[in-house]
Amino acid sequence: MVTFLSSSDILSVSSLHKKELPGFLSKLGEYFLTEFYKTSLGIPSVFTLVYKKDGEIAGFATGVETSRGLLGTFFRENPMGMGSALCFAVLTSPKLIFDIFKTLAYPGFGHDHAELLSISVDSKYQRKGIGKELFEETIKEFKKRKINSFKVSIYDGMSANSFYKKMGCKLDSSFSFMGSKMNYYSFKI
Ligand SMILES: CC(C)(COP(=O)(O)OP(=O)(O)OC[C@H]1O[C@@H](n2cnc3c(N)ncnc32)[C@H](O)[C@@H]1OP(=O)(O)O)[C@@H](O)C(=O)NCCC(=O)NCCS
């Protein structure tokens, strides 16, 4: 069953994010992720869909109407919470400060397009159609918001590139991000 993220799902979603998604947000740790998803509930242009199986979160997908200035949007919505979570992450692992500055160079933050920020299914439930259902529900949600295309970026070499191609995404471009190659796909609704 797919529903919208609620406050009671946040710890499970943050923990699943950290477990399955290797990107920058995971490096900032579960405390930061918890604050990130909590804050997202107050931002109308951001939505997270969760897939529940027997009361457990088996997967989730997060979409944004525009990725332009996204980090600023989160910090403006919840300066205390996001600020203290970031400080905690940096104090725990000071070298993260370099990654934080590099993250600001993410090309999406300068573009006015809708984006599927992340999609993740718990490894024990993968290859059972849950990712596809979350992807399809994300399309429906974007459509309700009058959005007719969205983008998604992923590290080159991750097997989920094949998932996006299966879902009908087309490769737009590639770029270098924090020393790794990333691919930008787009999906027309
Ligand atoms: C990518 C991911 C979301 C796919 O979820 P899933 O529930 O396993 O996918 P589904 O079972 O719905 O698969 C849908 C289709 O994609 C294909 N597919 C899924 N994962 C694939 C993979 N890693 N490689 C190749 N094909 C894949 C399936 O075979 C299926 O094809 P079919 O419809 O022809 O049978 C999941 O593997 C995952 O969470 N991975 C780790 C996190 C990640 O990399 N997320 C993407 C970056 S944000």
Domains and CATH numbers, the chain: 2-188 (3.40.630.30)
Residue nearest to atom 40 of ligand 1 (CA): 120
How are beta strands 170-177 and 180-188 bridged, if at all? antiparallel
More confident residue, 135 or 95: 135
Report the alpha-carbon distance of residue 182 to residue 184 in Å, rounded: 7
> 10 Å Cβ neighbour count for 20?
18
The verdict on the CB of residue 76 being under 6 Å from ligand 1 is: no
C-alpha to C-alpha distance for 118 and 63, rounded to whole angstroms: 7
Q: What's the pLDDT at 99? A: 82
Q: Is 53 in the pocket of ligand 1 (CB under 6 A)?
A: no
Inform me whether the pLDDT recorded for 164 exceeds 90. Answer: yes
In the chain, pLDDT over 70 holds for what percent of residues? 100
Closest residue to atom 29 of ligand 1, CA basis: 127
Closest atom of ligand 1 to CA, residue 128: 11
pLDDT confidence of residue 91: 94
What is the position in ligand 1's atom list of the atom closest to the CA of 129? 12
pLDDT of residue 22: 84
Class of residue 100 by CB neighbours under 10 A (exposed 0-12, middle 13-18, buried 19+): middle
Q: 141 falls in which pLDDT band (50, 70, 90)?
A: very high
Residue 132 Cβ contacting ligand 1 at under 6 Å: yes
What integer pLDDT is reported at residue 111 of this predicted model?
82
Dump pLDDT digits (tens) for 49-81.
Answer: 999 999 999 999 999 999 999 999 999 999 999
- The CA-atom distances, in angstroms, between 121 and each of 26, 38, 56, 181 are 15, 20, 12, 23
